[in-house]
């Protein structure tokens, strides 16, 4: 099982949209895929029209394996399941801090799923907390969507510094530009300045008003409008990621 | 959209319309959405003895695939690509895999025969919740018997398959549908299977070669004997079709056993039927039996192919192939001959006559048949006692050398005793018959092995003496020689253990068992 986190310290950068569409693209190749919604706002659960059962909460999530297993729900798409988030996830950090080895908790809790799924996507909440650290340890790849603006770049640098200071494996971090508006000079300049860095993914995601409409369709954009510019970009991005993951074994 | 393994079948109450099913299944805000519609043919297989059903599985072919289905849960536990639709097949002929392994454990000798085929029209709907999220599939199926001129559905079924994570919602739906059986009844796969078989006119468990009668110990023995003869005759009849269709070798085997049992009843229950008539039928059954001997020998040889090859070094194996293909050709010829005989007027009229005899109501003439009116119990006890004493007497007479003819004769004595015990087992308490049969079985196994090896040796030797000259024949002769050496060794082993086996049988304990049996309080 390959684990991919969609992560950013900053909110509103296109994490959920990327997690939803990339996981959908992964499932299209008959690869059992799970999307794990970690954000208490539950945006990706909402996009798939799924609500967690009443008995499900952060406690169960922290208990792991069997409890998680029973709460996974099928989406309307073949080979794509989702572990919905619950509003109680807002306390995950506090609860996690009471665990013995909080950084390793997530990886351990999802161990049993590796037999069932080939790809696991985390849709992460926008912050840098103990839960984020647990996600970093559990992920093979940390995808960071960046809007080509100075603030975005600043938070990205903060993230890299954090990895360095805490001696984490920074090679997992793979940024890509998101919500790109080519007509804006600032976007063009920033892409020119940073986009050639070796860790950067070549494919960027253009700003596309259709992405915002996913909240109306409540389905992946690639499932509803596969020919939209953003859909094409997600497709290319997934191909790039997949070949990278396959190469890295 | 992955469904949970849990699918529930529902049968609608006839007074209820399909619409009300939807109404009752759906909670407020939920809706149905058409998903797909298709036709499908399903073919069901099992052996003549229902070995799959006995082991709680069904074998179903659909969508060019063979499925093994658990009868209790309806879960498909193994699959295999299976494009053909044969009227029968052997597990042995399937490609290696889980399904083949599963079927091979059910039987290594019987063919799986197509029981029936049904055509279904399947319409699938998605059940959407108030978020318009699919939570389950509702499938409606109309089942018709295939290959019938009029295709009218005999049952209309619904099934609910929840998507992963929506079992709770489905449980609620099923509960509201099946509450007081108002709308629908749940149906497990086993019930569905039985429903299909009933509709197709296939009687499940319609056959067993085991004598399963309930004889009355006080009834005059001629009545009980006729009951037994009716049973053995029904076994013969039941196997005719399978012999003709050449489905597997067990049909002929059971047919022959039924003939032997018939003869045994007529022969061992003396003075129960008119002597002249008895002699007449005994002769005719002997004739039918004889006509099957060679065919059965070929069957046995072909069944043993595997072990023959296994016992030879690879360099001698190719010559055996030719040998077995010759056997197969001659078997085919003999099979044709026997089928012709079965279809002949002579055979038919004889069997009709016999049928009339076994169903004859009138009591036999008391002068000619002084034993006919004796009670079943007294005849059973006397004849078993006599047969048992004969086995003991003859067994004790077997010399140190244990000659072939001595063992052959004793085997027949044992068989007679065994048949009598089986014929009358229903009048004795089960717990006194079973240990006696167990004791006897050990002795019979030993003698059976011995005779079996000697028959095989004889068969190979006969063939050896007719081999032509030449290189191929030399190789074949060598392989036959190799086999004969092994068979001889095994035969000698069986001969060597005879006295010990017989001692165990001719023991106080066994005598006590027989004594208990014959003096037990009859049912």
In this prediction the ipTM stands at 0.85
The DSSP 8-state label assigned to residue B116 in this structure reads E
- Span B326-340, mean pLDDT? 96
- A74 closest CB neighbour out of B1, B131, B168: B1
Q: What band does B25 get if pLDDT is binned at 50, 70 and 90?
A: confident
3-class SS at B36?
strand
Distance in Å, alpha carbon of B454 to nearest chain A alpha carbon: 56
The DSSP 8-state label assigned to residue B371 in this structure reads T
How many CB pairs below 8 Å do chains A and B form together?
A: 39
Test the A interface: residue of B3, B127, B133, B169 with most A CBs within 10 Å:
B133
Give yes or no for a contact between A118 and A32, defined as CB atoms under 8 angstroms apart.
Answer: yes
Report the 10 Å Cβ neighbour count for B368: 14
pLDDT at B52 over 70: yes
At B413-469, the pLDDT tens digits run 999 999 999 999 999 998 888 999 999 999 999 999 999 999 889 989 998 998 888
Say what the pLDDT of residue B174 is: 86
pLDDT at B14 over 90: no
At A231-248, the pLDDT tens digits run 999 999 999 999 888 887
Q: How big is chain B, counted in residues?
A: 523
Residue of B nearest to A72 (CA): B165
Q: Which helix (H) or strand (E) holds B51?
A: helix B51-54
pLDDT at B522 over 80: no
Say what the pLDDT of residue B155 is: 87
Say what the pLDDT of residue B523 is: 65
Closest by Cα among A213, A215, A249, A248 to A228: A213
- Span B343-356, mean pLDDT? 96
Q: What band does B20 get if pLDDT is binned at 50, 70 and 90?
A: confident
Residues A13 and B211: their CA atoms lie apart, in Å, by: 80
Closest by Cα among B406, B388, B411, B395 to B499: B395
B166 interaction partners in chain A (CB closer than 8 Å): 73-74
pLDDT at B169 over 90: no
Contact check, Cβ <8 Å, A218/B132: yes
Test the B interface: residue of A74, A77, A223 with most B CBs within 10 Å:
A74
Say what the pLDDT of residue B500 is: 93
The answer to whether A94 faces chain B, any CB pair under 8 Å, is: no
Structure tokens at B519: 């003096």
Report the 10 Å Cβ neighbour count for B502: 21
pLDDT at B89 over 80: yes
A73 interaction partners in chain B (CB closer than 8 Å): 163-166
pLDDT at B521 over 80: no
3-class SS at B143?
strand
The DSSP 8-state label assigned to residue B366 in this structure reads T
- Non-local (6+) Cβ contacts of B445 within 8 A are none
Contact check, Cβ <8 Å, A81/B165: yes
State the distance between the two ends of chain A, measured CA to CA, in whole angstroms: 11
pLDDT at B3 over 70: no
Closest by Cα among B257, B249, B253 to B232: B257
- Span B58-72, mean pLDDT? 95
Burial class (CB in 10 A: 0-12, 13-18, 19+), A227: exposed
Three-state SS letters, chain A: CEEEEECCCCCCCCHHHHHHHHHHHHHHCCCCEEEEECCCCCHHHHHCCCCCCCCCCHHHHHHCHHHHHHHCEECCCCCEEEECCCHHHHHHHHHHHCCCCHHHHHHHHCHHHHHCCCEEEEECCCCCCHHHHHHHHHCCEEEEEECCCHHHHHHHHHHHHHHHHCCCCHHHEEEEECCECCCCHHHHHHHHHHCCCCCCCCCCCECCHHHHCHHHHCCCHHHHCCCCHHHHHHHHHHHHHHHHHHHCC
Say what the pLDDT of residue A153 is: 93
pLDDT at B305 over 80: yes
The owner of tokens 């032997």 is B260
Question: Which range, B112-121, B309-318, B454-463, is most confident?
Answer: B112-121
Q: What band does B9 get if pLDDT is binned at 50, 70 and 90?
A: confident
Give yes or no for a contact between B520 and B432, defined as CB atoms under 8 angstroms apart.
Answer: yes
Q: Which residue has the higher pLDDT, B4 or B192?
A: B192
Say what the pLDDT of residue A69 is: 86
Residues B479 and B320: their CA atoms lie apart, in Å, by: 7
Test the B interface: residue of A32, A37, A48, A49 with most B CBs within 10 Å:
A49
- Non-local (6+) Cβ contacts of A249 within 8 A are none
The answer to whether B58 faces chain A, any CB pair under 8 Å, is: no
The answer to whether A55 faces chain B, any CB pair under 8 Å, is: no
Residue A207 sits in which domain range?
2-247
Residues A132 and A120: their CA atoms lie apart, in Å, by: 16
Distance in Å, alpha carbon of B133 to nearest chain A alpha carbon: 6
The answer to whether B166 faces chain A, any CB pair under 8 Å, is: yes
Q: What band does B23 get if pLDDT is binned at 50, 70 and 90?
A: confident
Mean pLDDT of the residues in chain B: 91
The answer to whether A212 faces chain B, any CB pair under 8 Å, is: no
Residues B69 and A141: their CA atoms lie apart, in Å, by: 42
Residues A84 and B484: their CA atoms lie apart, in Å, by: 72
Residues B83 and B63: their CA atoms lie apart, in Å, by: 8
Distance in Å, alpha carbon of B159 to nearest chain A alpha carbon: 19
Contact check, Cβ <8 Å, B2/A81: yes
The answer to whether A78 faces chain B, any CB pair under 8 Å, is: yes
At B254-302, the pLDDT tens digits run 999 999 999 999 999 989 999 999 999 999 999 999 999 999 999 998 9
State the distance between the two ends of chain B, measured CA to CA, in whole angstroms: 61
Q: Which helix (H) or strand (E) holds B449?
A: helix B430-465
Residue of A nearest to B4 (CA): A74
The answer to whether B134 faces chain A, any CB pair under 8 Å, is: yes
Contact check, Cβ <8 Å, B165/A51: no
Burial class (CB in 10 A: 0-12, 13-18, 19+), B257: middle
- B166 closest CB neighbour out of A48, A73, A79: A73
Whether the full predicted model's pTM is greater than 0.80, yes or no, is no
DSSP B285-352: HHHHHHHHHHHHHHHHHHHTHHHHHHTS-GGGHHHHHHHHHHHHHHHHHHHHHHHHHHHSHHHHHHHH
3-class SS at B37?
strand
The owner of tokens 């039985």 is B194
Give yes or no for a contact between B52 and B197, defined as CB atoms under 8 angstroms apart.
Answer: no
Domains of chain B as residue ranges with CATH: 8-199 (2.40.320), 218-366 (1.40.20.10), 381-523 (1.40.20.10)
The owner of tokens 């079973």 is B434
The DSSP 8-state label assigned to residue B400 in this structure reads T
Residue B46 pairs with which residues in a beta bridge? B113
Provide the domain count of chain A.
1
CATH code, domain with A52 = 3.40.50.300
Residues B437 and B384: their CA atoms lie apart, in Å, by: 12
Give yes or no for a contact between B265 and B225, defined as CB atoms under 8 angstroms apart.
Answer: yes
Buried b (16+ CB within 10 A) or exposed e, A70-84: ebbbbbbbebbbbbb
The greatest distance separating any two alpha carbons of chain B, rounded to the nearest whole angstrom, comes to 91
Q: List chain A residues with pLDDT less than 70.
A: 249
The answer to whether A223 faces chain B, any CB pair under 8 Å, is: no
Contact check, Cβ <8 Å, B134/A72: no
A78 interaction partners in chain B (CB closer than 8 Å): 1-2
Three-state SS letters, B234-275: HHHHHHHHHHHHCCCCHHHHHHHHHHHHHHHHHHHCCCCCCH
At B204-250, the pLDDT tens digits run 988 888 888 999 999 999 999 999 999 999 999 999 999 999 999 99
Residues A76 and B95: their CA atoms lie apart, in Å, by: 36
- Non-local (6+) Cβ contacts of B331 within 8 A are B295, B298, B299, B302
Residues B202 and B413: their CA atoms lie apart, in Å, by: 39
Which percentage of chain A shows pLDDT scores above 70? 100
């Amino acid at each position: 099982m390959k684990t991919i986190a969609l992560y950013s310290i900053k909110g509103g950068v296109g994490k959920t949209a990327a997690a939803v569409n990339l996981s959908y693209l992964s499932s299209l190749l008959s690869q059992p895929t799970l999307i794990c919604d970690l954000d208490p706002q539950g945006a990706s659960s909402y996009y798939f029209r799924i609500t967690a059962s009443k008995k499900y909460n952060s406690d169960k999530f922290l208990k792991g394996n069997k409890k998680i297993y029973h709460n996974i729900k099928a989406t309307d798409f073949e080979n794509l399941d989702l572990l919905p988030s619950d509003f109680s996830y807002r306390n995950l950090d506090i609860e996690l801090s009471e665990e013995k080895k909080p950084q390793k908790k997530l990886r351990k809790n999802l161990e049993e799923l590796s037999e069932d799924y080939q790809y696991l996507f985390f849709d992460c909440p926008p912050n840098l907390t103990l839960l984020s650290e647990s996600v970093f340890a559990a992920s093979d790849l940390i995808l960071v969507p960046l809007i080509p603006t100075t603030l975005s770049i600043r938070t990205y640098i903060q993230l890299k510094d954090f990895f360095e200071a805490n001696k984490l494996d920074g090679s997992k971090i793979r940024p890509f530009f998101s919500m790109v508006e080519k007509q804006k000079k600032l976007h063009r300049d920033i892409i020119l300045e940073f986009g050639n860095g070796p860790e950067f993914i070549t494919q960027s995601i253009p700003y596309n008003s259709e992405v915002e409409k996913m909240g109306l369709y409540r389905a992946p954009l690639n499932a509803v409008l596969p020919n939209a510019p953003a859909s094409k970009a997600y497709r290319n991005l997934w191909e790039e990621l997949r070949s990278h993951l396959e190469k890295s074994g | 959209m992955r469904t949970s393994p849990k699918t529930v079948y529902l049968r609608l109450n006839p007074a209820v319309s399909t619409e009300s099913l939807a109404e009752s299944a759906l909670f407020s805000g939920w809706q149905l959405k058409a998903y797909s519609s298709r036709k499908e043919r399903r073919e069901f297989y099992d052996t003549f003895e229902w070995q799959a059903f006995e082991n709680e599985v069904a074998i179903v072919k659909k969508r060019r695939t063979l499925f093994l289905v658990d009868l209790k849960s309806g879960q498909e536990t193994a699959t295999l690509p299976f494009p053909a639709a044969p009227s029968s097949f052997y597990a042995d002929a399937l490609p290696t895999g889980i399904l083949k392994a599963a079927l091979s454990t059910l039987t290594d000798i019987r063919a799986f025969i197509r029981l029936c085929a049904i055509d279904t029209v399947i319409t699938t709907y998605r059940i959407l919740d108030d978020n318009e999220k699919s939570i389950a599939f509702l499938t409606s199926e109309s089942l018709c018997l295939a290959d019938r001129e009029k295709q009218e559905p005999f049952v209309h079924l619904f099934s609910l398959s929840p998507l992963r994570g929506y079992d709770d919602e489905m449980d609620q739906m099923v509960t509201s549908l099946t509450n007081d059986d108002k709308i629908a009844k749940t149906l497990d796969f086993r019930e569905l299977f039985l429903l299909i078989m009933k509709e197709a006119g296939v009687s499940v468990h319609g056959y067993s070669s085991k004598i399963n009668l309930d004889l009355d110990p006080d009834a005059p023995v001629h009545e009980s004997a006729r009951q037994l003869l009716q049973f053995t005759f029904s076994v013969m009849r039941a196997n005719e079709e399978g012999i003709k269709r050449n489905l597997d070798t067990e049909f002929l085997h059971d047919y022959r056993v039924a003939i032997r049992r018939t003869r045994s009843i007529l022969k061992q229950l003396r003075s129960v039927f008119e002597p002249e008539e008895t002699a007449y039928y005994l002769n005719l059954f002997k004739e039918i039996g004889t006509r099957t001997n060679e065919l059965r020998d070929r069957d046995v040889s072909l069944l043993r192919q595997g072990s023959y090859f296994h016992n030879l070094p690879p360099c001698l194996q190719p010559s055996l192939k030719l040998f077995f293909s010759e056997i197969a050709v001659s078997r085919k010829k003999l099979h044709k001959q026997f089928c012709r005989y079965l279809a002949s007027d002579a055979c038919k009229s004889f069997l009709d006559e016999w049928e009339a005899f076994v169903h004859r109501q009138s009591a036999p003439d008391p002068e000619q048949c002084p034993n006919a009116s004796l009670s079943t119990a007294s005849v059973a006890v006397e004849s078993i006692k006599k047969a048992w004493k004969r086995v003991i007497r003859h067994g004790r007479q077997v010399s140190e050398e244990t000659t072939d003819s001595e063992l052959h004769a004793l085997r027949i004595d044992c068989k007679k005793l065994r048949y009598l015990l089986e014929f009358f087992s229903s009048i004795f308490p089960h717990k006194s018959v079973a240990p006696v049969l167990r004791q006897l079985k050990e002795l019979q196994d030993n003698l059976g092995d011995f005779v079996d090896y000697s028959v095989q040796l004889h068969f190979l030797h006969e063939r050896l003496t007719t081999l032509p000259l030449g290189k191929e024949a030399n190789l074949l002769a060598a392989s036959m020689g190799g086999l004969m050496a092994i068979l001889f060794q095994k035969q000698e082993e069986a001969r060597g253990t005879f006295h010990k086996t017989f001692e165990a049988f001719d023991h106080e304990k066994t005598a006590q068992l027989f004594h208990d049996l014959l003096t037990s309080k009859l049912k």
